[in-house]
Amino acid sequence: MLPGTLLPMISPETVDSRFKLDEKQAESLAQQFGTPLYVIDEAHFRHRIRRYIAAFQAAWPHSELTYASKANSTLGVLAIAASEGCLIDAASEGEFRAALAAGVPAGRCHLHGNNKSQKELAFAFENGIGQIVLDNFGEIELVADLAKSNPCPELVLRLAPGVDPVTHAKISTGQADTKFGFNLTDGAAEKALVRCLELGLPVVGFHCHVGSQLLDPEAQISGGELLAEFAARMLREHQFETRILNVGGGLGVHYTDSDNPMDVESYCQNLCAAIEQALQGTGLAPKLTQEPGRSLIAESGVTLYQVGVRKTVPSQKFGTRTYLAVDGGLSDNPRPVMYGSKYTVVPIRPSTEENQAFTISGKHCETDMLFEQVPLPADISEGDLVQVLCTGAYNSSMASNYNRYPRPCTALIRSSGEFALLQRQDTWDEMFTRESVPAGLQ
């Protein structure tokens, strides 16, 4: 944070705002759709988007919210986000196609990516994408070439502001040593703008995204501030008038009781105040955009599993350890294995037994320890259902068929309380349709 700027007023979210299933819902969903099952609550998701938009507009009236579809690009989820007024951020041609398939107008979509191919860019141009976020010098030339024969979408330069967020290294993106964007610190950002202006490209502003699951948002606020200062300098030195500043996503969520994310109202106020201060006296009045994913959808989703095996074994670490093996694992939630992520697991069947610590594992060949030392009633056993909270983001979108498990179904709880299917489980047929056994191998 730069001298003279407002310090963020840390105001953690005080209520547990995560969606949870009640026993009746869980039993009925498991019966209707099977387990493992991703569940999204429509009313919760809509409420979260409305709250974010209201907070953002209160802090910066000329603002727009974009939903980062990488968090969960199930078509129904995209349709809900778009119907609430969100633009859609696609990080690939596939995510852009998903938005189109969900009925989102191309003009309401943005294309990201640190290595967009000519083909991906051409697809975006031909389909009238609203905005492309440029990441590197080669891409500027590719876009200039495509713009000779197609109308060019508005362009924003992704900048690496050189701030180091407090989060897992694999989801830190704003530091100078990053594969993303044009560095502010080594002059690349200015050179990129100058090149776009020389080529007559319709650049409208700047973007940064410094990281994800940020419980301390100081890095994002500093990133926004540095972006605004850069905009002010580009006005002075190149008469470039910034019309859009996009400060990315990244606000953290409440995976466990030790996660205390800042509430969205304080976050927007602090972020916007820092940007306003940095723009003071410049005459610039850009539209501000943010593109959160996790903080919009994570808490609206749970995953329902059934316990298949309960096993107690000797353990050097704990004396004895009791495993509960559930009917999913790293193929439906790779985050514990990738990032050591922790989650809250809640039993479905009420019990009067005291809690004891369990290790929840999956079905995969690795020791796919999903959740370690989880407090659950001592009598939990085979056949019981458990729900894992806060799995709406980066679970279904990161799912795989590892060990040839079908990816789970996603059910939606409609605002009316009814259940609807968002995505069915993979079928065995489609698991093998991409493959062939060349002649002579059998």
Residues that bind ligand PLP (CB under 6 A): 68, 70-71, 89, 112, 173, 209, 212, 248-250, 291-295
Residues 15 and 17: their CA atoms lie apart, in Å, by 6
| Residue 274: half-sphere exposure toward Cβ, Cα within 13 Å | 26
Q: In sequence order, which residues have a C-beta less than 8 Å from that of residue 338 and are 6 or more positions away?
A: 170
The minimum distance between CB 86 and ligand PLP, in angstroms, equals 12
Q: Locate all alpha helices (DSSP H) within 249-357, ordered by sequence.
A: 264-279, 294-297, 335-339
Q: Which residues of 320-344 are buried (b: 16+ CB within 10 A; e: fewer)?
A: ebbbbbbbbbbbbbbbbbebebbbb
The CA-atom distances, in angstroms, between 109 and each of 74, 117, 127, 129, 218 are 15, 18, 10, 6, 28
Residue nearer to ligand PLP on the CB measure, 181 or 347: 181
> Which is closer to ligand PLP, CB of 172 or CB of 303?
172
Q: What is the dihedral of CA 166, 167, 170, 172, to 10 degrees?
A: -40
Nearer to ligand PLP, 95 or 368 (CB): 95
Shortest CB 196 distance to ligand PLP, Å: 19
CB under 8 Å to 201, separation ≥6 — which residues? 140, 143, 144, 147, 152, 155
Residue 242 Cβ vs ligand PLP, minimum distance, rounded to whole Å: 18
Beta strand pairing call for 244-246 and 37-41: unpaired
To ligand PLP, the closest distance from the beta carbon of 146 in angstroms equals: 21
Active site residue 268: no
- Residue showing the smallest CB distance to ligand PLP in the complex: 249
Closest CB to ligand PLP among residues 170, 424: 170
Taking alpha carbons only, the member of 328, 329, 261, 300 closest to residue 389 is 300
Minimum Å distance from CB 190 to ligand PLP? 21
Two structure tokens written together for 87: 């633009």
Nearer to ligand PLP, 49 or 386 (CB): 49
CA 257 and chain centroid, separation: 20
DSSP 4: T
Number of other residues whose CB lies within 10 A of the CB of residue 101: 12
For the bound state, the minimum distance from the C-beta of residue 170 to ligand PLP, rounded and expressed in Å, comes to 10
Measured from the CB atom, the residue of 161 and 293 that comes closer to ligand PLP is 293
SS3 of residue 232 by DSSP: helix
Decide whether 267 or 405 has the Cβ nearer to ligand PLP.
267
For residues 264, 270, 272, 277, the Cα torsion angle rounded to the nearest 10 degrees is: 180
Which member of 152, 365, 390, 409 is catalytic? 365
Q: Among residues 68 and 278, whose Cβ is nearest to ligand PLP? A: 68
Which residues on adjacent β-strands are paired with residue 206? Answer: 157, 245
Burial of 31 (0-12, 13-18, 19+ CB in 10 A): exposed
Rounded to a whole number of angstroms, the minimum distance from the CB of residue 293 to ligand PLP is 3
Between CA 177 and CA 180, with CA 178 as vertex, the angle to 5 degrees is 150
Q: How far is the CB of 411 from ligand PLP (least distance, A)?
A: 22
- Tell me the catalytic residues: 365
